[in-house]
């Protein structure tokens, strides 16, 4: 038997005379308060305009945006998991408030509906950092990372199988329609012409036309992407037809993925993002430099890019824009062969200079640090949504959350 007075009081389900506040149970230094203050200070007119004035009252966009942003900082990207956290985690419960709590369907619809508005949220985090005297653009590192798509490689269909399955579905639909005509003719003979005696579209036809239309659309997309290089073995996934096969991870395994781009400032803020369905990075160099200008209102002092972005066209375009850049002409730690193009030869000579080597040496840690934080600390290794438009919004959400983590780590005080 425990000795009396040995332990501190421990009582469960004890009523309280005065109401308790959730935030009183949280650590005052918890990042949830920082996210709460940031969202309260955002311009939300674009979010609010997407809701109708009439009809049932919607949940406050601030509530849902806070949940998604804070969830991303904590590695939560599922609507169901967010709903579970609201019931079990005090920090999420604090953000949800004292009223009714949205279910996971409402949370998921918010993320899809406002996928374009999430780019403005990312821009707001960059402006917030700029207002605090951060976001140094003397050196801007641009890099890409592969984001696993929410689809399975084993469920993909080759072009040949698509053609075969289309033919089988067309034959099945034709057989059902022929049988339906025979039944209708028999019913017309038995009943009056005004009495069809049917209960709607037969069950056999309720899914087949949709599946056939989807197959045709995916096959046409595959043929458009591959062009004359199309082979019968080339594959596409029906669940997310916009994702393409890319090498992902340290083992270089082939899987369906998107190519997420990010430009990072000297002090570690993501100042622009991009998303492409191509595994190659070369076509993203000039657009990403333009995205930095659009997002920050300033041009990078010098853009740092790896060899994946190297091309004569990119070097010529950036030089025409008077945009300083350093792009590797060979693999790191390996001697580069003398290039052929005039612009590439100029970059090769430039990278031999000591000051250029010192600058370019910062690219790897500066450009890849956000990806390490996103994939390790924030645990974002696979997209939750399907389709490029939806993944674009998801990528902006993750980048905005990464910037919030950076702002909080630097102790930025909000006005």
pLDDT one-digit tens code per residue, 250-264: 777 888 899 999 999
pLDDT score at 187: 59
**90: its two tokens:** 């005090």
Q: Are 315 and 340 in contact (CB under 8 A)?
A: no
- Give domain status of residue 255, yes or no: yes
Distance of CA 4 to the CA centre of its chain: 58
- Give domain status of residue 207, yes or no: yes
Domain identity same for 96 and 163: no
**Among the listed ranges 76-90, 191-205, 306-320, which one has the minimum average pLDDT value?**
191-205
CATH classification at residue 255: 3.30.420
- Give domain status of residue 127, yes or no: no
Domain identity same for 372 and 307: yes
Domain identity same for 182 and 264: no
Q: Are 62 and 39 in contact (CB under 8 A)?
A: yes
Domain identity same for 290 and 148: yes
Point out the domain boundary residue: 208, 236, 264: 236
More confident call, 289 vs 191 = 289
CA-wise closest residue to 330 among 314, 302, 351 = 351
Point out the domain boundary residue: 183, 205, 236: 236
Domain identity same for 194 and 213: yes
Domain identity same for 361 and 312: yes
Domain identity same for 85 and 143: no
Tell me the pLDDT tens digit for each residue of 357-368: 999 999 989 999
**Among the listed ranges 129-133, 186-190, 395-399, which one has the minimum average pLDDT value?**
186-190
Residue 191, pLDDT above cutoff 60: no
- Give domain status of residue 120, yes or no: no
> Which residue spans within 14-125 are E strands per DSSP?
none
Average pLDDT over residues 33-50: 89
- Work out the pLDDT band at 371, boundaries 50, 70, 90: very high
More confident call, 17 vs 145 = 145
Residue 269, pLDDT above cutoff 80: yes
pLDDT score at 312: 94
- Give domain status of residue 147, yes or no: yes
Domain identity same for 201 and 338: no
Domain identity same for 284 and 145: yes
- Give domain status of residue 125, yes or no: no
- Give domain status of residue 49, yes or no: yes
Domain that holds residue 197: 157-236
Domain identity same for 335 and 199: no
pTM of the model: 0.81
Point out the domain boundary residue: 215, 236, 257: 236
Long-range contacts formed by 70-73: CB under 8 A, 24+ apart: 70/31, 70/32, 70/35, 70/95, 72/378, 72/380, 72/397, 72/398, 72/400, 72/401, 73/31, 73/35, 73/378, 73/401, 73/404, 73/405
Q: What is the number of domains present in the chain?
A: 3
Tell me the pLDDT tens digit for each residue of 110-157: 999 998 899 999 999 999 999 999 999 999 999 999 999 988 766 665
- Give domain status of residue 199, yes or no: yes
Domain identity same for 144 and 285: yes
Average pLDDT over residues 318-324: 94
Residue 70, pLDDT above cutoff 90: yes
pLDDT score at 354: 94
Domain identity same for 261 and 377: yes
């Amino acid at each position: 038997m425990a000795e009396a007075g040995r332990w501190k009081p421990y009582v469960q389900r004890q009523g309280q005379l005065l109401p308790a506040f959730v935030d009183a149970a949280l650590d005052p230094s918890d990042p949830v308060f920082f996210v709460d203050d940031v969202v309260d200070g955002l311009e939300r007119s674009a979010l609010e305009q997407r809701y109708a004035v009439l009809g049932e009252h919607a949940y406050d966009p601030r509530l849902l945006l806070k949940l998604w942003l804070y969830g991303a900082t904590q590695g939560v990207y599922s609507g169901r998991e967010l709903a579970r956290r609201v019931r079990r985690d005090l920090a999420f419960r604090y953000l949800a408030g004292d009223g009714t709590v949205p279910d996971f369907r409402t949370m998921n619809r918010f993320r899809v509906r406002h996928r374009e508005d999430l780019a403005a949220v990312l821009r707001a985090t960059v402006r917030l950092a700029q207002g605090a005297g951060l976001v140094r653009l003397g050196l801007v590192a641009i890099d890409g990372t592969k984001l696993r798509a929410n689809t399975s490689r084993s469920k993909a269909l080759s072009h040949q199988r698509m053609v075969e399955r289309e033919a089988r579905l067309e034959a099945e639909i034709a057989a059902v329609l022929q049988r339906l005509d025979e039944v209708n003719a028999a019913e017309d003979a038995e009943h009056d012409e005004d009495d069809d005696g049917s209960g709607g579209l037969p069950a056999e036809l309720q899914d087949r036309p949709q599946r056939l239309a989807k197959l045709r659309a995916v096959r046409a997309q595959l043929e458009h992407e591959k062009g004359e290089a199309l082979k019968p073995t080339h594959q596409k996934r029906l669940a997310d037809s916009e994702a393409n096969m890319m090498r992902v991870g340290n083992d270089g395994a082939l899987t369906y993925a998107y190519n997420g781009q990010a430009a990072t400032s000297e002090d570690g803020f993501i100042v622009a993002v991009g998303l492409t369905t191509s595994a190659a990075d070369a076509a993203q160099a000039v657009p990403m430099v333009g995205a930095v200008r659009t997002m920050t209102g300033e041009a990078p002092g010098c853009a740092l890019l790896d060899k994946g972005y190297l091309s004569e066209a990119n070097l010529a375009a950036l030089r025409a824009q008077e945009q300083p850049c350093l792009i590797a002409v060979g693999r790191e730690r390996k001697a580069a062969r003398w290039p052929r193009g005039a612009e590439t030869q100029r970059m090769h000579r430039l990278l031999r200079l000591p000051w250029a080597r010192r600058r370019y040496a910062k690219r790897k840690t500066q450009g890849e640090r956000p990806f390490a934080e996103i994939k390790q600390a924030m645990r974002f290794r696979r997209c939750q949504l399907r389709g490029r438009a939806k993944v674009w919004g998801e990528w902006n959400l993750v980048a905005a959350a990464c910037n919030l983590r950076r702002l909080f780590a630097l102790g930025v005080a909000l006005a």
